[in-house]
Amino acid sequence: MVQYNFKKITVVPNGKEFIDIILSRTQRQTPTVVHKGYSISRLRQFYMRKVKYTQQNFHEKLSTIIEEFPRLDDIHPFYGDLLHVLYNKDHYKLALGQINTARNLISKIAKDYVKLLKYGDSLYRCKSLKVAALGRMCTVIKRIAPSLAYLEQIRQHMARLPSIDPNTRTILICGYPNVGKSSFINKITRADVDVQPYAFTTKSLFVGHTDYKYLRYQVIDTPGILDRPFEDRNIIEMCSITALAHLRAAVLFFLDISGSCGYSVAAQAALFHSIKSLFMNKPLIIVCNKTDLQPLEGISEEDMKLVMEMKAEAMKTVIGQGGDPLNDEGVLLTMSTLTEEGVVSVKNAACERLLDQRVELKMKSKKMNDCLNRFHVAVPKPRDQKERPPCIPQAVLEGMAKQQAAEKEKRKLERDLEEENGGAGVYSASLKKHYILNNDEWKEDIMPEILDGHNVYDFIDPDVLQRLEELEREEGLRAEEEDDDFEMDGKELTPEEQEALAEIRKKKSLLIQQHRIRKSTAESRPTVPRKFDKEKKFTSERMGRQLSALGLDPTLAINRARSKSRGRKRERSLGRGGNDGDDAMDMDVDQPNKKLRARSRSLLRSRSMSRPPGEVVAGEGFKDSAQKVKALKLAKKSVKKRNKDARRGEADRVIPTLKPKHLFSGKRSIGKTSRR
């Protein structure tokens, strides 16, 4: 479990932002209205509250910064030294000390000015003391602005540090630059470390995770180290030295035996001997990388002698852990990250060595002694020399035999075939093996699509035309049966009725054909008004002639059609003055005098025949006049707001003046335009 999570540290504001945050909070959270008519005790309390509230906010903010940043003396030595290497422990402590001093100064200033405010004798005096108190607090914050900026940069850098747990199972990779350390961690973990063909590609610690025997291992890739004095090493190299010095881990020292990294085997052996003191009490494995360029057996005798010396040093760590001095397996390993040959064996050897060491340390601890006395392993002792094999019932044996036989006869699924033939992405299921053909050898044949310029699929079925005729014949029979069900049987009619029925059916078929012709050309045919229909196919006279020709009396049909047709002249509806209108009409007809006729017309014109607003007309959807009046009132009320805003309709979107003249005209007052 990772105990140090530097990503949760709160952002440190700079000096100006710090002051703005605190003062704006004071302005928002405390009363802002005061009058000189208030009693002096109320005025004192008003300004004392502002000073105390500002001091509390400063105290909380600064205390949060001091508490969230880690104390180098309290955290794990690995992180303590790493932060010292990256940020200089003295500067770090000095910045936090200045924050603590500022917090104490602000508390003291607030205490002093609250004491002075208790004796303020006027509104002006109290306000001046409040301004002086807040000004001195802001001056203190301005003085520590560089320390705040420094701590913010440290916080950003610490948030980007990898989450390393110093107490978990760890594999540490070290060696010269460009020997294949990052390529190895990319192979065995899901880390994505940049790999380039030049030195010092890795400039900080990178972490990946891998599994071995259901346990999670932490793999750390360190920057390359050069063989030079300790004082001359830079920050990048010191990160590796810090990790080697403080982490209990299995160390993989990478050796480039091909020399393609730019450093000889002798130089790499010198580096090994200069830092071998950091390998004490840690499982150490010498890894000879890039064997695809140069096998271990092909190097010179001098280089082989140096490699053997490093192997002897690594064997000392095995002996120190109580291992077999004659068993040198897992101490010197070869691999190639390019071909991935030996990569898994190196990982397994490192995990196994580390696991053995951790188990042995736990067995030696006092806590294990307290646990072992609670366990007892019972080992049964033989009571005689007689052999007693396991007794398995016959029914169980028969069931096992049947189960094995069923497994042998079990049909192979596509999943089983996929696993046998290379897995997903390699095996491709054949869709042709289930074809039903006369010969199974034809299943995998490639079928041509085009042959002699023709599509082969058009000629696959030789009986396609015969089957089509049979299908059409069957559909025709079904259609005749359906027609017979709905048509009249002519055998029950007299000869005259049969002739009339035949004539009707013939006419019906002609009408259907004409309708279909008109329907097919309806889109392109213009609509002709009825008065221009010269053919006059649908008139009452024509209908009468046709019915007479069939032996039927057309009188009733013609009268019904004429009664249903609408008259051409519009009749005037009777209104409130219906009787007067009738009298006027009578006068207009009876008296030929021009004056009387003109008077009757003006009387008609003066009497309005329009309906009142509340009268209900059929089709409007109202049950009575009360409901209609109510609906009209609601409609009028709904448009009142729109009319008040001078909008033309519902879709009218009024855009107000974006820059009112009374706010943007005239001279600006003296002072800053930004106001809090």
- The C-alpha atoms of residue 217 and residue 212 are separated, in whole angstroms, by 7
Smallest CA-to-CA distance from 171 within 288, 249, 275, 255 is with 249
Beta partners for 256? 289
Give pLDDT tens digits for 553-591: 888 888 887 776 655 555 444 444 444 444 444 444 444
Q: Is the pLDDT of residue 605 over 60?
A: no
Which token pair is 180?
């294949």
pLDDT tens column, 399-415: 999 988 888 777 788 88
Higher pLDDT pick, 570 / 170: 170
> What pLDDT, on the 0 to 100 scale, is given for residue 322?
67
Is the pLDDT score of 391 beyond 70? yes
Per-residue pLDDT for 666 more than 90?
no
Q: 295-328, pLDDT tens digit by residue?
A: 888 888 888 888 888 888 888 877 766 666 666 7
Read off the pTM: 0.52
Give the least confident one: 183-187, 424-428, 622-626.
Answer: 424-428
Instruction: Render pLDDT for 65-97 as a digit per residue (tens, 0 to 9).
Output: 999 998 888 888 888 888 888 888 889 999 999
- Residue 590: the pLDDT is 43
Mean pLDDT of 333-342: 88
| 3-class SS letters over 533-597 | CCCCCCCHHHHHHHHHHCCCCCHHHHHHHHHHCCCCCCCCCCCCCHHHHHHHHHHHHHCCCHHHH
465 vs 57, higher pLDDT: 57
Max Cα-Cα span within the chain:
156
pLDDT of res. 551: 76
Instruction: Name every residue whose Cβ is closer than 8 Å to that of residue 31 and which is 6 or more positions away in sequence.
Output: 46, 49
- Does an H or E element contain 105, and which? helix 89-117
- pLDDT tens-digit series, residues 115-146: 999 999 999 999 999 999 999 999 999 999 99
Q: Are 239 and 222 in contact (CB under 8 A)?
A: yes
Helix (H) or strand (E) holding 220: strand 215-221
The percentage of the chain sitting over the pLDDT mark of 70, rounded to a whole number, equals 84
pLDDT tens digits, one per residue of 477-520: 887 776 655 555 556 778 888 888 888 888 898 888 888 877 76
Choose the weakest-confidence range: 72-86, 144-158, 204-218: 72-86
* CB contact at 8 A, 254 and 260: no
pLDDT tier at 55, thresholds 50, 70, 90: very high
